Amino acid sequence: MAIKLELVNLRKEYGALVAVNDMSLKVEEGETMALLGPSGCGKSTTLNMIVGLETPTSGDILIDGQSVSKIPVGRRNVGLVFQDYAVFTHMTVRGNMEYGLKVRKVGQREINQQVEKMASFVGLADKLHRKPAELSASEMQRVAIGRTLVTSPQILLLDEPLSNLESEMRHQMRRELHRIQLETKQTIIYVTHDQIEALSLAHRIAVMNLGVLQQYDTSYNVYHYPRSTFVGSFLGNPPMNFIKGTLKSAGGQRLIEQDGARIPLPSMKELAGVSDGAAVTVGIRAETADIVPLGSPGSFEAELFAIEPQGPEAVVTAKFANTLLKVVVPTSAVPKGSGSIALLPHANLLALFDTQSGVRLMNGAAS
Ligand code: ADP
């Protein structure tokens, strides 16, 4: 697949503040890439540099292999949709949808054809004569997306496009975006602070924090193989469990000890070269541990603390030494009574992090 967008050491400073710190990544044609991170992490600044609203301090942006750094905002063929719709309120839906094509001096017949096709694509064929004030929030967002898509941008940039919508509308719009992805094969950059949105819409996720790209990988890998405790905790609900302890060995078995309580570790190549005594954090996603009979090989014990049934699944909270853990298990597997339970983590999904740096241990070293 061709590379549609490439950021090369992209950097933006505002005085002493580094809003985006030497960010490099590639987005393939037809992919949706989500820029995900907490408020203030540099998502909008990155987006604004791609659009041309902000000038990078250093680094470069390539679209279809060509640097666009010197191309002014209006001349870049990228389409931006903001969370607050960016539609012209004094124009009808048709007026809004025609606008970008008129600016490009497309002939009126062609404009009519394209606008009508796009209006029916975004489900607004019967609303072309309406003014935005007469539309619902999701219809307004569809106008904003339609008027941008109709100009066939090289990249469609969506900045928190669902955050102004009510929950039900947000789900509906998410499905709508899925359809747009599938049918247009448009390359999309999607800015969000909502991990569920990123996981459900993006092929790849760039997780940012404090201007620094923390991890850039497929949505699957970012979720299942977080490279740092930050990424592990930012994605997932309930969030990943973290158990801090000291690495030890007993009878040829490596384990993590916290206040005398122990978690046996499966044999992991990540442990090669990491000495006993190291401060290590175990990461276990809530749905990657099973409740097993006490004494089962590879399991560890914790005290049952709370059970929250949620229909087919239940969130079970248990206390291991000083740490409260949450696991999600089928309701049928919920333990009866109280006292000790045994938890068996899925060996291939258990993560180990260097406690001090929060970086995942990889092949015997933090990387
Ligand atoms: P996000 O979109 O992830 O919420 P932003 O890209 O808006 O984050 O902001 C990143 C950092 O840059 C923040 O600390 C923000 O305060 C700062 N920032 C953004 N725009 C400006 C600006 N025009 N002048 C000074 N600081 C800015």
Instruction: Judge whether 91 and 143 are in contact, CB under 8 Å.
Output: no
Q: Is 232 in the pocket of ligand 1 (CB under 6 A)?
A: no
72 exposure class (CB count in 10 Å sphere: 0-12, 13-18, 19+)? exposed
Return all residues near 39 (Cβ < 8 A) that are at least 6 apart. 193
For 215-226, give the DSSP string: EEEEHHHHHHS-
Q: 127 or 141: whose pLDDT is higher?
A: 127
**10 C-alpha vs ligand 1 centroid, how far in Å?**
15
pLDDT tens by residue, 217-247: 999 999 999 999 999 999 998 889 999 999 9
| Beta bridge partner(s), residue 318 | 304, 325
Residue from 85, 86, 83, 89 nearest 132 by CA? 89
Ligand 1, residues 39, 45, 54, 159: which to mutate, most atoms within 8 A of Cβ? Answer: 45
**69 C-alpha vs ligand 1 centroid, how far in Å?**
20
Residues 312-336 as b or e (16 or more Cβ within 10 Å = b)? ebbbbbbebbebebbbbbeeeebbe
Complete edge-to-edge strand list for the sheet that includes strand 351-354? 261-264, 253-258, 241-250, 279-284, 351-354
The pTM (predicted TM-score) of the whole model is 0.90
What is the predicted pLDDT for the residue at 364?
47
| 84: confidence class by pLDDT, cuts 50, 70, 90 | low
Q: If you average pLDDT over residues 248-277, what whole number do you get?
A: 92
What is the predicted pLDDT for the residue at 74?
78
69 exposure class (CB count in 10 Å sphere: 0-12, 13-18, 19+)? middle
Residue 258, CA distances (Å) to 30, 292, 297 in order: 47, 21, 19
Q: Is 45 in the pocket of ligand 1 (CB under 6 A)?
A: yes
| Domain architecture of the chain: domains with CATH | 3-234 (3.40.50.300), 241-354 (2.40.50.140)
Residue from 89, 187, 96, 191 nearest 148 by CA? 96
Q: Is 275 in the pocket of ligand 1 (CB under 6 A)?
A: no
Instruction: Judge whether 34 and 204 are in contact, CB under 8 Å.
Output: yes
pLDDT tens by residue, 318-329: 999 999 999 999
Indicate which residue's Cα is closest to atom 13 of ligand 1: 40
Mean pLDDT of the chain: 92
What is the predicted pLDDT for the residue at 283?
97
Residues 238-263 as b or e (16 or more Cβ within 10 Å = b)? eebbbbbbebbeeeeebbbebeebbb
Q: If you average pLDDT over residues 139-167, what whole number do you get?
A: 87
Task: Give the separation between CA 276 and CA 308, rounded to whole angstroms.
Answer: 37
**17 C-alpha vs ligand 1 centroid, how far in Å?**
9
Tokens matching residue 159: 């900045």
Task: Give the separation between CA 147 and CA 151, rounded to whole angstroms.
Answer: 7
Residue 39 Cα: closest atom of ligand 1: 4
Alpha helix positions (H), 35-92: 43-51
Share of the chain above pLDDT 70, in %: 98
**14 C-alpha vs ligand 1 centroid, how far in Å?**
8
**131 C-alpha vs ligand 1 centroid, how far in Å?**
33
Q: Is 114 in the pocket of ligand 1 (CB under 6 A)?
A: no
Instruction: Judge whether 315 and 308 are in contact, CB under 8 Å.
Output: yes
